[in-house]
Amino acid sequence: MKPTLTVSSGYFLFYRRILMNIADKMYVAIEYTLTLESGQEIDKSPADQPLGFITGTGQIIPGLEKALMGRATGDNAKLIIAPEDAYGPVKDDLFQDIPKSQFPNDVEVKPGMAFEAQGPRGPFMITVAQVNDNDTVTVDLNHPMAGKQLHFDVNVIDVREPTADELAQAAASLSAGCGCGCGPDKTDSADSTAACGTGCNCG
């Protein structure tokens, strides 16, 4: 929203920025640090590069978006997001056995190793859970943050109405499968777990 021009007693002109609260279909920019319950830092917005998104378009995890609603530019918040409002619980059916031959021949496959796989929506990461004796490998297709409580330290940098271009970009991102609504109803395939990044946005 544009600043409003106010005249005081006919002598002074000054600009007063009307602060907007975060609501549905608003452009929001935040600086954030993401840590786990242990205190381990997982993700952080780059210096002078806040994360920008449009609410209501699935660009960030639902629990974070819900916790930000009603806040305004300049607000700081420490937020705790439960797994069911973030990347969902760990699902047993997303542990799958695949032939060991599908891994690179020059790599000794060990539990905990991460590999990039290709899905219908593009590349995504899988984690080796177990190397079996029958020439198969059990891989974990859950999102790396599944089952984890997330702790966000957030500074709200900007809240405003989105431009037409920003709305179009958000729509294009969703149609390409890069939404981050990774609740328990949205992580039932390896491909869908890859739709969300390790932190709070895509990528």
Q: Do 67 and 83 sit in the same domain of this protein?
A: yes
165, pLDDT greater than 50: yes
The domain total for the chain is: 2
If we measure between CA atoms, which residue out of 88, 73, 71 comes closest to residue 149?
88
Confirm if 151 and 79 have CB atoms less than 8 A apart: yes
Residue 167 has phi, psi (to 5 degrees) of -65, -40
Confidence at residue 203, expressed as pLDDT on a 0 to 100 scale? 30
Average pLDDT (66-84) is 98
Residue 81 has pLDDT above 80, yes or no: yes
Mean pLDDT of the chain: 84
Residue 99 maps to a domain: yes
pTM (2 d.p.): 0.74
- Decide if 30 is inside a domain: yes
Mean pLDDT of 92-103: 96
Q: 46-73: per-residue pLDDT in tens?
A: 999 999 999 999 999 999 999 999 999 9
The whole-angstrom distance between residue 18's C-alpha and the CA centroid of its chain comes to: 29
Residue 131: pLDDT band with limits 50, 70, 90: very high
Residue 84 included in any domain = yes
Whether residues 174 and 189 share a domain: the answer is: yes
d(CA 130, CA 67): 37
Token duo for residue 44 = 């952080």
Q: Where are the beta strands (DSSP E) in 87-149?
A: 95-99, 114-119, 122-131, 136-140
Question: Which band of pLDDT confidence, cut at 50, 70 and 90, is reported for residue 183?
Answer: very low
Q: Say if residue 34 is in the same domain as residue 84.
A: yes
Q: What percent of the chain is modeled with pLDDT above 70?
A: 77
E strand intervals along the chain: 4-8, 12-16, 27-36, 41-44, 51-54, 76-81, 95-99, 114-119, 122-131, 136-140, 150-160
Per-residue pLDDT, 121: 76
Amino acid (one-letter) located at 52: G
Same domain, 25 and 80: yes
72 in the same domain as 36: yes
**What is the average per-residue pLDDT within 82-107?**
96
Q: Give the residue-averaged pLDDT of 90-102.
A: 96
5 falls within a domain: no
**What is the domain range of residue 84?**
21-88+145-193
* Domain assignment of residue 200, yes or no: no
Q: Are residues 39 and 76 both part of a single domain?
A: yes
Shared domain for 105 and 178, answered yes or no, is no
